[in-house]
């Protein structure tokens, strides 16, 4: 078997994730036709794909002296150390990668992710900016800049058009109050000014998101919980103590008002709040708001107090209910939906489920979680939120919500919408 044939066969079994077979084949004495440095590179690559990070580092370091693409190898060593939890070492290797190739946007992005996980958000933003400046198609870098600007005040506002635009929008939107947000005339004028600011910056301002959060210190980690539920059809233990106040809204105007209210709302525990357009099929309400609570008692107390705030912005004729956890759970466990206001839950956590939850936790690399940010509530409505609201307006336009005209008549690029979102919107429109 010639070198070319051997390599093609090895590539094939690597694609099939037969990593141990590939390692054995590379190390086999019959493969001596493969040059030594190439064998080392192959082994490094296989161990890397296998997520055997220690061996990947071992072989990448052997390859380095004779390598013409040191920047790629340094980057992969950095990724390996990152996944081993040695973040400061990973930074060292990302910096070496960048030193060898200033225009390698992947290393800048990985460096940014590592800074983010060390809570150094300003350094993270600067590295994401570098990645995006090098590669304008790097959507993750762009989205991360937008996301992190929720939490960080950048001293140099001209570092990037995204940052400058965010700063100006934040200044415009920071002084909203009950009186202003109840006025549809005020909102229409506000969105006109918002569009003027955005149009000043010729950058790729677009997000696929459809949900706006006001966050507190606690991470709900919902993506993890849904992984547990979707894999094993069990309800995570955390979710048994999760209650939501659900606010059903009539139209897009109500949703925008509620979103602004959530930004100025004072809650004792700074509860997480969320506003969404509903893209799930078979859900009758198009617009919703939620307040997450850690107990039934807490939800009832907030429910009692929020009524006055809703009246202040003319949202007093809407449906408000308390829910237990997420609607998806009810289909499998109908009893989970039932709330006993005397304090006893209709359904209890099955302790045998714990082992299944542990399986998911082993698979999840928490270092890569985009949900972990140890900060208080967002500083104000900003560019990130505005772009999501523009998606809401596109949603309203497609489902022919006529109330949109009361607060917005600007341009909407419906073609840029996420294909999944467009499909769901058309489904809702047709039904």
Average pLDDT, stretch 416-431? Answer: 67
Q: Which two tokens stand for residue 364?
A: 């999840």
Lowest mean per-residue pLDDT among 30-39, 42-51, 316-325, 329-338: 30-39
Residue 36: its pLDDT value, please?
A: 73
394, part of any domain = no
Based on the fold, state whether residues 13 and 143 are members of the same structural domain.
yes
Query: Does residue 267 have a pLDDT over 90?
Result: no
Q: What percent of the chain has a predicted confidence (pLDDT) above 90?
A: 48
10, part of any domain = yes
Based on the fold, state whether residues 241 and 96 are members of the same structural domain.
no
Q: Which two tokens stand for residue 191?
A: 């969105």
Query: Does residue 306 have a pLDDT over 70?
Result: yes
Q: Buried b / exposed e across 53-92, counting CB within 10 Å, b at 16+?
A: bebbbebbebbeeebeebbbbbbbbbbbbbbeebbebbbe
303 class by beta-carbon count within 10 Å (0-12 exposed, 13-18 middle, 19+ buried):
middle
Which tens digits make up the pLDDT trace of 220-249?
788 899 999 999 999 999 999 999 999 999
Based on the fold, state whether residues 279 and 347 are members of the same structural domain.
yes
Based on the fold, state whether residues 8 and 122 are members of the same structural domain.
yes
Q: Which two tokens stand for residue 216?
A: 């507190």
- Average confidence score pLDDT of the chain: 85
Q: Which of 326, 350, 373 is the last residue of a domain?
A: 373
The alpha carbon of residue 126 and the mean position of all alpha carbons in its chain are separated, in whole angstroms, by 19
Please tell me the distance from the alpha carbon of residue 358 to that of residue 286, in angstroms, as a whole number. Answer: 36
The alpha carbon of residue 241 and the mean position of all alpha carbons in its chain are separated, in whole angstroms, by 23
170, part of any domain = no
Query: Does residue 289 have a pLDDT over 80?
Result: yes
Q: What percent of the chain has a predicted confidence (pLDDT) above 70?
A: 84
Query: Which domain covers residue 215, as residue numbers?
Result: 211-373
142, part of any domain = yes
Residue 403: its pLDDT value, please?
A: 97
Side-chain-side CA neighbours of 248 within 13 Å: the count stands at 11
Query: Does residue 379 have a pLDDT over 70?
Result: no
14, part of any domain = yes
Give the number of domains in the chain.
2
31, part of any domain = yes
Based on the fold, state whether residues 100 and 233 are members of the same structural domain.
no
Based on the fold, state whether residues 144 and 269 are members of the same structural domain.
no
149 or 378: whose pLDDT is higher?
149
Average pLDDT, stretch 247-267? Answer: 94
Based on the fold, state whether residues 218 and 357 are members of the same structural domain.
yes
Residue 377: its pLDDT value, please?
A: 53
> Is the full-model pTM beyond 0.85?
no
20, part of any domain = yes
Please tell me the distance from the alpha carbon of residue 413 to that of residue 429, in angstroms, as a whole number. Answer: 18
CATH code (residue 136)? 1.25.40.10
Query: Does residue 375 have a pLDDT over 50?
Result: no
**What is the CA angle 138-144-149, rounded to 5?**
135
Lowest mean per-residue pLDDT among 241-255, 329-343, 368-382, 416-430: 368-382
Based on the fold, state whether residues 217 and 84 are members of the same structural domain.
no
**CB atoms near residue 132 (< 10 Å):** 26
Based on the fold, state whether residues 369 and 221 are members of the same structural domain.
yes
Based on the fold, state whether residues 218 and 150 are members of the same structural domain.
no
Q: Which of 373, 405, 421 is the last residue of a domain?
A: 373
DSSP for residue 287 = E
Average pLDDT, stretch 362-379? Answer: 53
Q: Which two tokens stand for residue 384?
A: 């990130």
Average pLDDT, stretch 95-107? Answer: 97
Which tens digits make up the pLDDT trace of 174-185?
889 999 999 999
User: CA–CA distance from 313 to each of 170, 183, 232, 245, 308 (Å)?
Assistant: 22, 8, 43, 18, 9
Based on the fold, state whether residues 14 and 127 are members of the same structural domain.
yes
406, part of any domain = no
Residue 8: its pLDDT value, please?
A: 67
Based on the fold, state whether residues 247 and 118 are members of the same structural domain.
no
CATH code (residue 323)? 3.30.70
Q: Which of 136, 154, 172 is the last residue of a domain?
A: 154
154 or 340: whose pLDDT is higher?
340
């Amino acid at each position: 078997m010639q070198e070319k044939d051997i390599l093609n066969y090895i590539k094939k079994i690597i694609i099939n994730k037969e990593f141990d077979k590939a390692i054995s084949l590379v190390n086999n004495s019959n493969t001596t036709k493969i040059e030594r440095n190439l064998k080392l590179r192959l082994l490094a690559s296989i161990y890397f794909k296998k997520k055997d990070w220690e061996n990947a580092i071992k072989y990448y370091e052997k390859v380095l002296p004779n390598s013409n693409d040191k920047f790629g190898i340094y980057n992969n060593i950095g990724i390996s150390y990152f996944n081993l939890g040695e973040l400061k070492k990973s930074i060292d290797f990302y910096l070496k990668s960048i030193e060898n190739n200033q225009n390698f946007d992947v290393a800048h992005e990985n460096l940014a992710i590592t800074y983010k996980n060390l809570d150094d958000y300003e350094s993270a933003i600067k590295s994401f900016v570098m990645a995006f400046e090098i590669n304008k198609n790097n959507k993750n870098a762009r989205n991360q800049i937008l996301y992190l600007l929720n939490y960080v005040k950048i001293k140099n506002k001209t570092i990037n058009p995204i940052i400058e635009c965010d700063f100006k929008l934040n200044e415009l939107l920071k002084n909203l109050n009950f009186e202003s947000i109840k006025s549809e005339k005020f909102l229409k004028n506000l969105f006109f000014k918002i569009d003027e600011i955005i149009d000043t910056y010729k950058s790729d301002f677009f997000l696929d998101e459809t949900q706006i959060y006001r966050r507190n210190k606690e991470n709900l980690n919902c993506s993890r919980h849904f992984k547990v539920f979707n894999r094993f059809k069990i309800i995570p233990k955390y979710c048994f103590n999760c209650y939501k106040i659900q606010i059903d809204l009539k139209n897009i105007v109500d949703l925008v008002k509620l979103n602004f209210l959530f930004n100025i709302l004072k809650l004792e525990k700074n509860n997480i709040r969320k506003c969404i357009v509903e893209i799930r099929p078979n859900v009758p309400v198009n617009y919703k708001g939620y307040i997450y609570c850690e107990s039934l008692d807490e939800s009832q107390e907030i429910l009692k107090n929020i009524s006055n705030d809703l009246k202040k912005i003319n949202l007093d004729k809407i449906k408000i209910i308390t829910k237990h956890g997420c609607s998806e759970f009810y289909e499998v466990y109908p009893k989970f939906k039932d709330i006993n206001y005397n304090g006893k839950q209709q359904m209890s956590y099955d302790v045998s489920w714990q082992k299944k939850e542990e399986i998911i936790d082993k698979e999840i690399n928490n270092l890569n979680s985009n949900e972990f940010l140890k900060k208080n509530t967002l500083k104000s409505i900003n560019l990130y939120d505005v772009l999501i609201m523009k998606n809401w307006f596109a949603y309203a336009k497609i489902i022919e919500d006529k109330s949109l005209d009361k607060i917005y008549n600007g341009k909407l690029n419906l073609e840029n919408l996420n294909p999944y979102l467009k499909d769901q919107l058309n489904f809702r429109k047709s039904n």
